[in-house]
């Protein structure tokens, strides 16, 4: 079969501010489909200069991937495909939890829930007449106007058994980091999350069991992308790269042993950093340059409501350790907890400045479908305009602060952090860039 897989674009106002990496989800699916003999094409509309779409009629199946804020754009693409009578399958976190919404739009034939490699392969077999639709796991569809949800869950128990992502079908030269403007790629070292933060759907989407790849397999993929695509920057996008410190140490040792000369980035919990300083030292020696940390708030009651199981003191200590080994931190912070007032939110903003990571990301608490939060606040949701579920707009009616005030405070957070006089004087080049970029970013977020 001839199959097209599409990565839905971000809102155009954000494109100049976002860091693009290869879309691993559709690349993994493409690798699986191609291994089974299908003619697969990938279209990453975030890396496309023209925004033009190929002739949909040339394909036998079109798969479209999108998260919550891009859902409406995914439906618009599906509508274009439907004009050419091509079957359309939607995948991604949003439709995995709200499949009927897409199916009843009139533009979508199938929704693939959760991990897509095996369901998309079996769906292609069904369309080729080699399998019954009832035997395609984790797929939803309409039958006589009613939604049918085939049983969950079709996960890859051994991620290393999957083919490498089909990066050769993507414009790899266009993926570059802000670190050094050199070629970059995304990679995963694990799937699943044993934690259950109230605002995150990862454990529901990929399962609570952490499925880790072997260090040697990860190293083989690093060598592969470096040799084939001349990649020198790697972002590990799994939620908990450092969950097993011994595995992390082994990966670092393999990179150092072969002297690959790469720079890499990953996600970690702050408590793992504090409890495993030797691990951090080895990561620094192997080329890690930045770690993404979910700090969220200094308030213990707020952290408890998120089920974070960390403290403000742990976050401070984690940042100290990273600075000791010259590793930058990107720390995320959330405002708009139902129990927060403006005083508490301003305290979070002050905390971010005191913590002083290299980069900070501020978000308004958002009830993404599939999260525990979504189920808890259904009667408080202000809008189902999914494009506003970008972390910059108030989507929940709070108790102690108005929605308009939240949106004002999120802007205040970015201004106070990035345009702080001390930061501009300490880092003049970055400071001047921020003076130019931050106002433009906030204007885009208001659109």
Residue 197 lies in a domain: yes
Beta-bridge mates of residue 39 = 2
Distances (CA, A) of 43 to 7, 83, 115, 200, 308: 6, 19, 19, 27, 36
Q: Are residues 351 and 423 in the same domain?
A: yes
One-character DSSP codes across 296-331: E-S-HHHHHHHT----HHHHHHHHHHHHHTT-EEEE
Q: What is the pLDDT of residue 429?
A: 65
The answer on 340 and 242 residing in a single domain is yes
The predicted pLDDT at position 442 comes to 66
Q: What is the pLDDT confidence band of residue 436, given thresholds at 50, 70 and 90?
A: low
Quote the pLDDT of residue 437. Answer: 67
My answer on whether 124 and 183 are in the same domain is no
Q: Does 249 map to a domain? A: yes
Tell me how far CA of residue 282 lies from CA of 277, 328, 357, in angstroms. 9, 15, 21
Shared domain for 280 and 417, answered yes or no, is yes
Same domain, 272 and 309: yes
Q: Mean pLDDT over residues 320-324, rounded? A: 98
Kindly provide the residue ranges of all beta strands, DSSP E only, lying in 204-343, ordered along the sequence: 211-212, 233-236, 263-268, 288-296, 328-335
The residue segments making up the domain with residue 346 are 176-445
371-380 long-range contacts, CB within 8 A, separation 24+: 371/198, 371/199, 371/200, 371/201, 371/204, 372/196, 372/198, 372/307, 373/198, 373/199, 374/97, 376/198, 377/338, 380/338
Q: Which two tokens stand for residue 44?
A: 């990453």
pTM of the model: 0.93
Percentage of the chain modeled with pLDDT above 70: 91
The beta strand positions in 108-162, using DSSP E, are 110-112, 139-143, 146-149
Within a domain: 167: no
Mean pLDDT in residue range 147-156: 87
pLDDT band, very low/low/confident/very high, at 216 (cuts 50, 70, 90): very high
Do 57 and 191 fall into the same domain?
A: no
pLDDT at 423: 72
Do 215 and 99 share a structural domain?
no
Sheet with 2-7: list strands edge to edge.
39-44, 2-7, 61-65, 88-91, 110-112, 139-143, 146-149
| Residues 6 or more apart whose Cβ sits within 8 Å of residue 169 | 27, 30, 40, 41, 42
**Tokens, residue 128:** 């080729």
Instruction: Round to whole Å and give the CA distance between 182 and 231.
Output: 7
CA distance 33 to 59: 14
Number of domains into which the chain is organized = 2
The C-alpha atoms of residue 327 and residue 288 are separated, in whole angstroms, by: 7
Do both 245 and 202 map to the same domain? yes
Report the distance separating Cα 163 and Cα 371, nearest Å: 30
Lowest mean pLDDT among 114-128, 196-210, 272-286, 344-358: 196-210
Per-residue pLDDT band for 440 (boundaries 50, 70, 90) equals low
Q: Average pLDDT over the chain, rounded to whole?
A: 91
Q: Is residue 343 part of a domain?
A: yes
Return the percentage of the chain with pLDDT > 90, whole number.
80
Is 17 a residue whose pLDDT tops 50? no
Distance CA 199, CA 432 (A): 34
CATH code, 80? 3.40.50.2300
pLDDT-derived band at 115 (thresholds 50, 70, 90) equals very high
Does residue 168 lie within any of the structural domains? no
Question: Is residue 31 assigned to a domain?
Answer: yes
Estimate to the nearest angstrom the gap between the alpha carbon of 52 and the chain centroid: 24
Q: Which of 340, 331, 357 is nearest to 420 (CA)?
A: 357
Cβ contact 282:258 at 8 Å: no
Token pair belonging to 251: 């990966």
Instruction: Give, as one character, the DSSP assignment of residue 212.
Output: E
pLDDT the model gives residue 82: 87
Q: How many other β-carbons are positioned within 10 Å of the β-carbon of residue 439?
A: 14
Mark whether 110 and 203 lie in a shared domain: no
Say yes or no: 96 and 241 in one domain: no
Report if residue 159 sits inside a domain.
no
Classify residue 411: in a domain, yes or no.
yes
Q: Give the per-residue pLDDT at 14.
A: 47
Cα separation of 298 and 317, whole Å?
13
Specify whether the CB–CB gap between 84 and 48 falls below 8 A: no
390 and 436, same structural domain? Answer: yes
Contact call for residues 6 and 77 (beta carbons, < 8 A) = yes
What integer is the mean pLDDT of 318-346? 96
| Predicted local confidence at residue 54, as pLDDT | 59
Instruction: Indicate if 183 and 135 belong to the same structural domain.
Output: no
């Amino acid at each position: 079969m001839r199959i097209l897989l599409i990565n839905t674009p971000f809102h155009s106002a954000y494109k100049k501010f976002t860091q693009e990496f290869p879309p691993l989800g559709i690349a993994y699916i493409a690798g699986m489909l191609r291994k089974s003999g299908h003619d697969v094409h990938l279209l990453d509309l975030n890396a496309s200069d023209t925004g033009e779409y190929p002739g949909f009629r040339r394909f036998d199946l079109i798969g479209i991937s999108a998260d919550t804020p891009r859902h409406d754009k995914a439906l618009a693409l599906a509508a274009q495909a439907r004009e050419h009578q091509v079957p359309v399958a939607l995948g991604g976190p949003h439709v995995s939890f709200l499949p009927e919404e897409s199916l009843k739009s009139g533009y979508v034939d199938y929704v693939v829930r959760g991990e897509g490699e095996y369901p998309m392969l079996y769906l292609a077999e069904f369309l080729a007449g080699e399998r019954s639709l009832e035997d395609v796991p984790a797929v939803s569809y309409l039958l006589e106007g009613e939604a049918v949800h085939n049983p969950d869950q079709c996960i890859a128990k051994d991620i290393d058994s999957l083919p490498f992502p089909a990066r050769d079908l993507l414009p790899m030269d266009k993926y570059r980091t802000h670190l050094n403007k050199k070629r970059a790629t995304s990679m995963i070292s694990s799937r699943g999350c044993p934690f259950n933060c109230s605002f995150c759907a990862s454990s529901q989407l990929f399962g609570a069991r952490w499925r880790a790849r072997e260090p040697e397999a990860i190293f083989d993929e690093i060598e592969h992308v470096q040799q084939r695509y001349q990649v020198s920057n790697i972002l590990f996008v799994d939620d908990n790269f450092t969950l097993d410190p011994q595995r992390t140490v082994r990966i670092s040792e393999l990179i150092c042993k072969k002297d690959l000369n790469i720079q890499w980035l990953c996600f970690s919990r702050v408590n793992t950093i504090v409890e495993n300083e030797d691990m951090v030292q080895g990561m620094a020696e192997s080329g890690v340059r930045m770690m993404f940390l979910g700090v969220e708030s200094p308030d213990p009651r707020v952290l408890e409501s998120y089920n974070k199981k960390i403290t403000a003191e742990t976050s401070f200590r984690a940042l100290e350790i990273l600075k000791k080994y010259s590793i930058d931190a990107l720390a995320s912070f959330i405002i708009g907890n139902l129990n927060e007032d403006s005083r508490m939110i301003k305290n979070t903003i002050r905390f971010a400045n005191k913590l002083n990571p290299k980069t900070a990301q501020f978000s308004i608490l958002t009830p993404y479908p599939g999260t525990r939060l979504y189920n808890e606040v259904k009667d408080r949701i202000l809008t189902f305009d999914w494009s506003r579920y970008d972390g910059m707009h108030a989507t929940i009616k709070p108790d102690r602060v108005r929605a308009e005030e939240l949106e004002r405070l999120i802007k205040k957070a970015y201004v106070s952090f990035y345009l702080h006089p001390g930061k501009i004087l300490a880092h003049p080049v970055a400071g001047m860039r921020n003076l130019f970029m931050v106002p433009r970013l906030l204007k885009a977020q208001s659109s």
